[in-house]
Amino acid sequence: MIAARTIRRRDIGANGNWPATVPSLLQRIYAARGALNLEQAQPRLAQLLPPDTLGGLEAATRLLTAAIAQDRHIVVVGDFDCDGATACAVGVRGLRMLGARRVSHAVPNRVIHGYGLSPGLVDDLAALQPHLLVTVDHGIACHAGITAAKARGWQVLVTDHHLPGATLPPADAIVDPNLPGDAFPSKMLAGVGVMFYVLLALRRHLRDGGAFTDGGPDLSTLLDLVAVGTVADLVPLDANNRALVAAGLRRLRAGQGCAGLRALIEVSGRDPRTLTATDIGFGLAPRINAAGRLEDMAVGIECLLSDDFTHARDIAATLNEINSERRAVQQQMTDEAELALARVALDGSALAPALCLFDAEWHPGVVGLVASKIKERVHRPVIAFAPAEPGSELLRGSARSIPGLHIRDALAAVDAAHPGLIGKFGGHAMAAGLSLSLPALPQFELALREQVERMLDPALLQAEIVSDGELEGGEFTRMSAEALRDGGPWGQGYPEPLFDGEFEVLNSRVVGERHLRLELAPLQPLDGGQRLNAIEFGGWNGETPPTRIRIAYRLEPDDYRGGQAVQLVIVHREPV
């Protein structure tokens, strides 16, 4: 069952003020995204928002300055996704750069500890004898764990970007741009971005106190990690995040990334010289995430902290193997979810506005990926559940939403209406996590469905593909494809250029069992009768394509064929 999709073309914005070096095609793309000049389209580090208005930094820098001065043991507590892993690496590396001599790190094990700084993790951390815990990419919802840490006499600094609940945890300091009343203009920082800003503020505080005679260490060397975590967490790429990601990509393209990221680029088969945000999202991030999903994110963090390329390469190879296993598990779980949807279609039932999927054999580390895949197919909010551990009645759920429904707010409304039904929950507008008991699943599913019906305009269940219009004949070139590739970074909230048009299918063949390669000719012939190569990943459905199709596609350099070759990467196809 696949949601019907319609193609809608973006409105072209106002003409801007562009240098002659910016191709007209890119000018059109930027204008459609609201940019009027190159500074808005491709913000640089000089335009980065200063830390001044980010709340909690004064208390945070006091804690860290005292810990450094008194040689206290600081433990950076990470999280088991890519944002949490990169934030942990940035925290450890940055604090050491700023003079901290006793810095360790820890990360919860998904199966043993559950999410975040839990009381169980605090018990395990006691052996390290920490003085100060610094949480990264979590903490705002870890009331019990922070209370347990405080009871042991430890200080706690929370750095997070998730939305807070009705009450805040009893930490010594909290830095989170999404706290009520926080004046920081960008609410879109990933967890790794928040930790980077804490380090910027700490460096300034130390510099003002006379700690450095040369301005202090160059924290921009951490931006490779900031870029990877920001892209991986799918936060919107507003101007501030684009400046961070673009700077990190420049470092990676120049071969200046940390050993772990360079090893991951190598093992994923990417070319570092042309690395893009898409390469991070589909090449590097899944391999880091795989450790936290199926094994222990400590392996991923070890890779990111390694300064020995040979050692990093060995760890990257291990992460690559884990990722291959993750792909197999994900494919099996997704196939099972799609079979369940097919049974709904066969009995004539309409799909609910929000879906809850569960299988007792599913892996809790992969449910988020399954929810994302099914959400893309049916275009409605999806929560996938799995037992927290084999045979357990405690379920871990991962939610993915669609534009127009704030999934964390929906969970908060269900929790308010049915106290005790949900164990714990947290997240963002588009993604969230929760725990639930198995007997409560039917009641929760009904409550969620009713809440989504109240919150969501039914018209938003119609899936749209938003296009930048047609390409002109002279734009199907390698120069155009490279300009589009390098004109980003593209991502959430600043979408990668996508085009549409009608084509004649001259040839088609199946490659790699699931993919479809086509030879196309525009119905409006190009100069010289140009034929275009196209590929649709996962596009083979057992039926030969019709002779005429309308497609939505990306224009990319075809590095496999080399030279001036380009290809159309099809993301949607329909008969004409």
Euclidean distance between CA atoms 415 and 423, whole angstroms: 9
The Cα–Cα gap between 223 and 538 comes to 34
Residue 215 gets the label, from left (phi > 0), alpha (psi -120 to 50) or beta, of left
- Token pair recorded at residue 193: 């971005």
Distance, in Å, from the CA atom of 318 to the CA atom of 259, rounded to the nearest integer, reads 15
Residues 462, 4: contact at Cβ < 8 Å?
yes
DSSP letter at 494 equals: B
* H or E element in which residue 571 lies: strand 566-575
Contact 469, 500 (CB under 8 A): yes
User: Could you give the angle at which helices 285-294 and 223-232 cross, rounded to 10 degrees?
Assistant: 70
Q: How many helices (H) and strands (E) does the chain have?
A: 19, 17
Compute CA distances 33 → 16, 29, 116, 479, 572, whole Å.
12, 7, 36, 21, 21
Q: List the chain pLDDT tens, one digit each, 576 residues.
A: 566 788 999 988 778 889 999 999 999 999 999 999 999 999 999 999 999 999 999 999 999 999 999 999 999 999 989 999 999 999 999 999 999 999 999 999 877 888 899 999 999 999 999 999 999 999 999 999 999 999 999 999 999 999 898 899 999 999 999 999 999 999 999 999 999 999 999 999 999 999 998 889 999 999 999 999 999 998 999 999 999 999 999 999 999 999 999 999 999 999 999 999 999 999 999 999 999 888 889 999 999 999 999 999 999 999 999 999 998 999 999 999 988 888 766 555 678 899 999 999 999 989 999 999 999 989 999 999 999 988 899 999 999 999 899 999 999 999 999 999 999 898 888 889 999 999 999 999 999 999 999 999 998 998 899 999 999 888 999 999 999 999 999 999 999 999 999 999 999 999 988 899 999 998 876 555 678 999 999 899 888 999 999 999 999 999 878 778 999 999 999 998
How far is Cα 144 from Cα 502, in angstroms, rounded to an integer?
Answer: 57
The strand pairing partners of 356, in sequence order, are: 383
Query: ∠ at Cα 316 (314, 317), nearest 5°?
Result: 65
Amino acid at 273: R
Q: What is the dihedral of CA 63, 302, 80, 277, to 10 degrees?
A: 100
The pLDDT of residue 1 is 52
Q: Which residue has the tokens 């820098």?
A: 61
Position 341 scores a pLDDT of 82
- Domain at 466-575, CATH class: mainly beta
Residues 6+ apart with CB under 8 A from 257: 224, 251, 265, 272
Under CATH, to which class is 53-320 assigned? alpha beta
* Residue spans per domain, the chain: 53-320, 350-461, 466-575
Q: What is the DSSP string of 20-31?
A: TTS-HHHHHHHH
Structure tokens at 153: 């006499």
- The pLDDT assigned to 3 comes to 64
C-alpha neighbours within 13 Å on the C-beta side of residue 165: 18
pLDDT of residue 562: 73
Q: Which residues pair with 533 in a beta bridge?
A: 519
CA proximity to 304, closest of 154, 177, 216, 195? 195
pLDDT at 348: 54
**Adjacent-strand bridge partners of 494:** 491
pLDDT of residue 409: 93
Q: Distance from CA of residue 260 to its chain's centroid?
A: 19
- Upstream peptide bond of 43 is cis (omega within 30 degrees of 0): no
Backbone angles phi, psi at 133, to 5 degrees: -100, 135
Q: Domain 350-461: which topology?
A: Diaminopimelate Epimerase; Chain A, domain 1 (3.10.310)
C-beta separation of 263 from 211 below 8 A: no
Whose tokens are 């593209």? That residue is 490
d(CA 286, CA 407): 23
For residue 51, the model assigns a pLDDT of 96
Beta carbons of 539 and 560 less than 8 angstroms apart: no
Q: Which residues of 202-232 are buried (b: 16+ CB within 10 A; e: fewer)?
A: bbbbbeeeebeeeebbebeebbbbbbbbbbb
Q: What share of the chain is helix, strand, coil (3-state, %, to 5)?
A: 45, 20, 35
DSSP 8-state symbol, 38: H
Report the distance separating Cα 139 and Cα 141, nearest Å. Answer: 5
Closest CA to 161 of 74, 66, 86, 72: 86
Cβ of 97: how many Cβ atoms within 10 Å? 16
Q: Is the dihedral of CA 545, 548, 552, 554 positive or negative?
A: positive
Long-range contacts of 97-103 (CB under 8 A, 24+ apart): 97/217, 97/219, 98/68, 98/199, 98/202, 98/203, 98/206, 98/216, 98/217, 99/68, 99/206, 99/211, 100/64, 100/67, 100/68, 100/74, 101/71, 102/71, 102/72, 102/73, 102/74, 103/74, 103/75, 103/76
The pLDDT, as a whole number, for residue 213 is 84
Please indicate, yes or no, whether the overall pTM of this predicted structure exceeds 0.85. yes
Instruction: Tally the residues of the chain.
Output: 576
